[in-house]
Amino acid sequence: VAAVLVPVSLQIAQQLKVEPHPFIMAVAFGASLSFLTPIGYQTNTLVYGAGGYRFGDFARVGAPLVIVLWIVAGKLIPVFWPL
């Protein structure tokens, strides 16, 4: 996902004539949010099968984590990587 979206984010930053680092960091944070499904990351898949979890278990625990990290990234990316 990140390999596809980084060039897109660089192009957007270039067209807007702004610093590209915040866009790249947003892609990096977004690409690392693999909590929502058991197929989001290989470790999730291993735990999914061995632990007897259901798909909904990952969504129930992962959705709040994703929302919190969206908020945190949305607040902190502009602080550490301003436009």
pLDDT of residue 11: 97
The pLDDT score that the predictor gives to residue 2 is 86
Give pLDDT tens digits for 26-79.
999 998 888 888 988 889 999 998 999 999 999 999 999 999 999 999 999 999
What's the predicted TM-score (pTM) here?
A: 0.78
User: pLDDT at position 40, please?
Assistant: 85
Contacts for 61-64 with beta carbons within 8 Å, 24 or more apart? 61/35, 62/35, 62/36, 62/37, 63/36
pLDDT at 41: 87
Question: Among the residues of the chain, which ranges form H helices?
Answer: 2-16, 21-31, 42-51, 55-80
* Predicted local confidence at residue 83, as pLDDT: 86
Domain extent listing, the chain? 2-80
